[in-house]
Amino acid sequence: MTREIQRAAVIGAGVMGGAIAAHLSNVGIPVLLMDVPGDGDDRDAVARRGLDRALGASPALFYDKRSARLIDIGNVEDDLEQVRDCDIVIEAIIEQLEPKRALFARLAPLLAPDTIVSSNTSGISVNAMAAGLPEDFRRRFLVTHFFNPVRYMKLLELVPNHDTAPEVVDFWRAFGADRLGKGVVLCKDTPNFIANRIGVYGFMVALRRTLEMGYGFDEVDTILGEPMGRPRSAIFRTCDLSGLDVLMHVAQGVYDTATDDECREVFAPPPLLREMVARGWLGEKSGQGFYKRIRGKEGSEILVLDPKTMEYRPRESVRFDSIGEVRENPDPAARIRGILAADDRAARFARPIVYDLLAYSARRVPEIADSPADVDAAMRWGFAWALGPFQTWDALGVANVVRGLEEQGAQVPQPAREVLENGQGSFYRDEEGARTVFIPATRSYAPLPPGTDGLSAASLRRRGPAIAENRGAALLDMGDGVALLEYRTKLNTIDENTVAMTREALERAGRDYRAVVIGNDAADFSAGANLALLLMAARMRQWGQIERIVKAFQEANMAAKYSPIPVVVAAAGRTLAGGCEVLMHCARAQVAAETYCGLVETGVGLIPAGGGCKELLLRARDLVPEKGPFPAVRHALETIAYATVSTSAAEARRLGYLRPSDGISLDRERLLSDAKAAAIALAEAGYRAPEPSVLRLPGTGGRLVLEQQIDGLRLAGKISEHDAVVIGKLAHVLCGGDCSPVADLSEQHLLDLEREAFISLCGMARTQERIQHTLNTGKPLRN
């Protein structure tokens, strides 16, 4: 049957319940958020506080706070019967078995026949919760374990009970992926499911080895962070962010319930962890944990705990040859191989920990999941690992890891022996363009579970060589008559190479393809222009070269806008400055929900010069309700002058960086697939390039009004002297220069004004100071 979710209930308005309700509202689902009755006359006070907490959370839980209007509040004494009108009910109360069972017993007789109920638990057995409840309830009941913060964490673990109907599991797999944008992994009812079982094991092993070998917590975080394909917060900073009490609770839970685990003792919280929790040193939420931030007049300093003295000391700047040699390599597999093959202090610490974790993960299959791909997906999506455990087995070479384990005197897990003896020597392989994974239970390869291997630039590179490429970008074949233009510079910055490849890509695709997608696999679509090269050219007074580069970028963007075949941009993460200008010139944008768009050039003393001013003006005409040219100019000026960056794709649409017709993909890993589908749809609908736009702008009169306002802000101390200069140049461009307010202006007129102002600002010492400061610190300078 086809289910349509028209209303949901979330019971429990704590941190998790409020975040789940917020995300349901993000995707347009009305929610009833309930908790226990409040004291006194305000019976809904507890739920109201939960909603207020969600609204004030940082990072923000709502794509747009206006979505909170979809959330009603109530309490479980007065309003529980309203679950009759809900299609799904998600329980998120205290993490204790008996209160959950008592709530489900109350819910069972109130539910409509098709309502699905789930528990958001991080480790309580779904079968223990379901025991004794009516069979009809058990068939509609499962665990939906969201990771926190719900908006940003992709992983959703599904755990059915023995009686859960397959249709219910199938519904949640589709609903979680398609509607909520989650990476859905099917788990077995084992202690702490997949991600926390493997992740907390890794934390506990690292903590024990750190203490045994006398390494500093800061030293270990330098080793086991980004160089090893882990998040920047590495091990102990991640513990602080999660909460040491949470870590200890999860570890103790596995120790108490996983009585057959051969490594059970690893999960027993060591004395140091127990002492820190007893002292209230819980990490970020208490102000100190493995690290402590000290704020002073000169800024803040982060100290690290010395476990021998239980005092905090300054962090040490540690360097390792093995890490230095691989740090700039964008391939996490190559970085991991390089570090583990070395023989310095970093390698000697990392090697046994990695081998131990790989062996433990392999021994958990098929206990916690049937497919190694589910384990890998859970660790990538839940713990932000670049490679999951079995992907790491393959990256290092299964036979090599087996030898390493044997040299350490460790037991080799059976799945590793199976893949060597009955497989093809690796857990993953490509068969006729499709990715498959070795299933130890069947000793054979099978297709990947749904959603674990989406279309990516990496997968396209595995299929064959690029159509064309240079040092900055490449053109790849996506199939079905669609080409992908992939940026390959650091932070996907835009330089002469990316611009040249854009022009070549559009020319080639116009002959041989029916559509082009501009996108990549990176966390950030593009951070904008290459500021280091721009600053060098400005200091050498190479104004002709700068003008040539800017003009070439403008022409590339205009070629994309007026291409005879549709050009679709697939953007995610930071899409700033020139990256935002590329997005705004394409026939359609398909962006990830977590896309942060902004024309931020004023922060470095410049203005947008790739057509960004022009495009925002064109869009502002539809955004601003007031008629006439001046309101649109004012909107564009305020947005650009304050370097406004959207906090989500939804806000980017409200600001005008995105159009109503542009698409939003909640799942980042589906972005290229969605962009390709959008490109094909445009092509098959008989795409035709738009007619050239014409603008009417206020000219000198409008600019004088804006200059008076700018001067007022400067005199009030709200902007600096150089801010006033930059914004004044921006006002000149947006008002059309010295034009007549009744004259029709071409897009090229605006592009010429943008370019002229940009080059003028490049020649100013204060702009060059701003660029240098940003390159050195990553932060803007107010000079």
**What CATH number should be reported for the domain holding residue 527?**
3.90.226.10
Q: Residue 325 gets which letter from DSSP?
A: H
Q: What local confidence, expressed as pLDDT, does residue 575 receive? A: 98
Does residue 580 sit within a domain?
A: yes
Q: Taking residues 77-86, report their average pLDDT.
A: 97
Render pLDDT for 106-122 as a digit per residue (tens, 0 to 9): 999 999 999 999 999 99
Does residue 419 sit within a domain?
A: yes
Nearest-5° Cα angle at 109, 103 to 110:
80
Q: Taking residues 359-383, report their average pLDDT.
A: 97
Count other C-beta atoms under 10 Å from residue 708's C-beta.
9
Does residue 616 sit within a domain?
A: no
Report whether 29 contacts 7 (CB < 8 A): yes
Burial class of 163 by CB neighbour count within 10 A (0 to 12, 13 to 18, 19+)? middle
Q: What local confidence, expressed as pLDDT, does residue 637 receive? A: 97
Instruction: Say whether both 263 and 207 belong to one domain.
Output: yes
- Give the end of a domain, one of 690, 723, 755: 690
pLDDT of 482 over the 90 cut = yes
Instruction: Say whether both 385 and 522 belong to one domain.
Output: no
Q: Residue 176 gets which letter from DSSP?
A: I
Instruction: Say whether both 388 and 437 belong to one domain.
Output: yes
Q: Count H helices, E strands: the chain?
A: 31, 23
Render pLDDT for 699-739 as a digit per residue (tens, 0 to 9): 999 999 999 999 999 999 999 999 999 999 999 999 999 99
**What CATH number should be reported for the domain holding residue 279?**
1.10.1040.50
pLDDT of 32 over the 90 cut = yes
Q: Taking residues 632-636, report their average pLDDT.
A: 95
Does residue 744 sit within a domain?
A: yes
Q: Taking residues 594-609, report their average pLDDT.
A: 97
Q: Taking residues 435-442, report their average pLDDT.
A: 94
pLDDT of 450 over the 80 cut = no
Q: Taking residues 123-131, report their average pLDDT.
A: 96
Q: What local confidence, expressed as pLDDT, does residue 667 receive? A: 93
Q: Taking residues 275-285, report their average pLDDT.
A: 96
How far from 16 is each of 62, 128, 184, 358, 481, CA to CA, in Å?
14, 21, 18, 31, 44
Does residue 618 sit within a domain?
A: no
Q: What local confidence, expressed as pLDDT, does residue 559 receive? A: 97
Q: How many domains does the chain fold into?
A: 4
Percentage of the chain surpassing pLDDT 70?
Answer: 99
pLDDT of 1 over the 70 cut = no
Q: Which domain range does residue 250 map to?
A: 195-447
Does residue 3 sit within a domain?
A: no
Find the helix or strand (DSSP H, E) in which 596 lies.
Answer: strand 588-598
Render pLDDT for 652-692 as a digit per residue (tens, 0 to 9): 999 999 999 999 999 999 999 999 999 999 999 999 999 99
- Give the end of a domain, one of 186, 208, 235: 186
pLDDT of 598 over the 90 cut = yes
pLDDT of 84 over the 60 cut = yes
Instruction: Say whether both 153 and 225 belong to one domain.
Output: no
More confidently predicted of 383 and 299: 383
Burial class of 288 by CB neighbour count within 10 A (0 to 12, 13 to 18, 19+)? buried
The mean predicted confidence, pLDDT, of the chain is 95
Q: Taking residues 516-522, report their average pLDDT.
A: 96
SS3 100: helix
Instruction: Say whether both 509 and 649 belong to one domain.
Output: yes
Instruction: Say whether both 258 and 346 belong to one domain.
Output: yes
Does residue 615 sit within a domain?
A: no
